[in-house]
Amino acid sequence: MADSRAKLLGREELRMRLEKHRQRGERIVLANGCFDVLHVGHARYLTGAKREGDVLVVAVNSDASVKELKGEGRPILPEKARAELVAAFAAVDYVVIFSEPNVEALLTELHPAVHAKGTDYTAETVPERELAARLGVRVAIVGDPKEHSTRELLARVKDANAGRRDG
């Protein structure tokens, strides 16, 4: 797809497309996150997620859910911009925005073969692990060690700007 915006789908359209992939025997992977300010950890997470199957769906938290999870002042970028940036990655096939606190509803609706989580989780700390097990969805921890965070990146930017004003 030349235009990454074409990868952004609503839930109903996404379900229909995924059914066609399943009919072709393709394995669907679901990854999710806020993706507020993209960094190399996000790229490695999505690349690792894609290695787990044939079709990578990325669920991006809505603005309201990011604010709930991350606090006041977040997100930095609005949900549609974050979704489009995620869709621009070659590894990503589809992007959907979700507003729930976790992706349990999406796991139930989309029934992927694999639920990919970043290395800030372990098999025991994945919020959706029990539902995934009941649905027969394998949980995979992917990406590089959690040495990158949006919170730390924003703190460094803030410190750098404070130094310019002071100096």
Which has more pLDDT, 159 or 98?
98
Quickly tell me which residue has 């096939």 as its tokens: 93
Average pLDDT over residues 51-77: 94
Q: Which pTM value belongs to this model?
A: 0.87
pLDDT tens track for 123-154: 999 999 999 999 999 999 999 876 656 566 55
* pLDDT given at position 95: 98
Other beta carbons within 10 Å of 57? 26
Q: What is the pLDDT of residue 65?
A: 94
Of 24-33, 52-61, 132-141, 149-158, give the lowest mean pLDDT range.
Answer: 149-158
Q: What is the dihedral of CA 113, 56, 145, 69, to 10 degrees?
A: -90
Name the phi and psi angles at 145, rounded to 5: -55, 145
Residue 2's pLDDT is what?
54
Residue 1: what pLDDT? 44
Name the one residue in this structure whose structure tokens are 């797809």. Answer: 1
- Residue 76: both structure tokens together: 């930095």
